[in-house]
Amino acid sequence: MGPIFFSMFVFFAVITLCFLGYFMYTKAQTRKEQSQRINQVVNYSGPTGIIQDTRIQTASIKIEEGKKDNKDEKAQGSAGIRRDSRISNIPVLNFIFSKISSEKVGSLKILIEQTGLKIKTGEFLLFVICLSVIGMLLVDLFLKIPFAGLAIGFIPFLVLNILKQKRLDAFITQLPEALDMLSGDLRAGLDVQAGIRHIADEFSAPIGEEFAKINVEIGLGLPISEALGNLVKRMNTMDVQILCTGIIINRELGGNLGELVRSVAVTIKERFKLKGMIKTLTAENSASAYLLMGLPVGLFFLLSGMAPDTYKSFMADPMGRGAIYGCVGSMTVGFLIIKKVTKLEV
């Protein structure tokens, strides 16, 4: 077993070094591109149009020659926003992954943005592929189950959803206080953009980061309705939808926006209280779900240690392995059913 573990160690070390080298290279390339774009802006002078190209996270800009479409336009040209839509910084990977359904890639891109991770979709997909191949080799080597290790590739997606939910909960927790501040700014006579900038400056991530993205988008020429729509995509909750819809309608039809924001803040606080009551009442059932899922697994490993020969022959028999797969599947289904019953939307 010594050579096998040594080979595994060397393999993982090489993979780790390759990933570190890749991320360092992409980071250096990104900084180089940003410096070139800034230098182009600083050294640029002329009547042609400026198209500001920004990533939301870095707010970088670049210049592109343009033509005037209307004689009545000003000599300086017009401003707009064009996002960096590349799936990967590596041209080959960008070409390969761009052939995948744009809807699926777009959904994955939004999911990564919702987690707050500063990685591209192509980098994540490359990591998933490498992890799946490594898992397949290890499971086939030790358990002699071909292709079963490919299921390990679903772990990064599970981690993304966990990080997304954690960040969303943190955002909703900060939202009432942020809305109180926005309501106060509006009643004091400030406009919506000034209130958004105030929240971005005063609050930490995730809400400060998200409102900073809105401020950057508005500052670079994106309509406030579209900027708020992007916030709804990243933070898709009922509270954010109500807030953004109210702001957009108020700007079109008029009304007391400060009072609307304050009402949304009060509603969110009341929902927090109701969620706390529901969580207390369903805590016992949730604990039962984890206990029923973990107890059989713990007993299996405990009894395997006490009688290794018995369970070794059980694992070697095809019917024994089939029974284990059936148990794992039924426990998983039962766990999901219990979680679904105890999860109540407020």
For 141-166, what is each residue's pLDDT tens digit? 776 777 777 888 888 999 999 999 99
Mean pLDDT of the chain: 76
Contact 146, 160 (CB under 8 A): no
Q: Given the structure tokens 């017009």, which residue do they identify? A: 78
pLDDT level of residue 278 (50, 70, 90 thresholds) = confident
Does the structure show a pLDDT above 60 at 123?
yes
Q: How many residues does the chain have?
A: 346
d(CA 223, CA 221): 6
- Comparing 38-42, 173-177, 199-203, 282-286, the range with the smallest average pLDDT is 38-42
Does the structure show a pLDDT above 90 at 89?
no
pLDDT level of residue 73 (50, 70, 90 thresholds) = very low
Contact 168, 235 (CB under 8 A): yes
End-to-end CA distance of the chain: 54
Contact 185, 196 (CB under 8 A): no
Q: Given the structure tokens 């400030």, which residue do they identify? A: 190
Q: Given the structure tokens 């959904």, which residue do they identify? A: 107
Residue percentage of the chain with pLDDT more than 70? 70
- Residue type (1 letter), 345: E
Residue percentage of the chain with pLDDT more than 90? 16
Predicted structure pTM score: 0.66
Q: 313 phi and psi, to 5 degrees? A: -70, -35
Q: Please determine, looking at this structure, whether the domain spanning 165-280 carries the CATH number 3.30.420.
A: no
For the chain, domain boundaries:
165-280, 283-342
| Greater pLDDT, 139 or 44 | 139
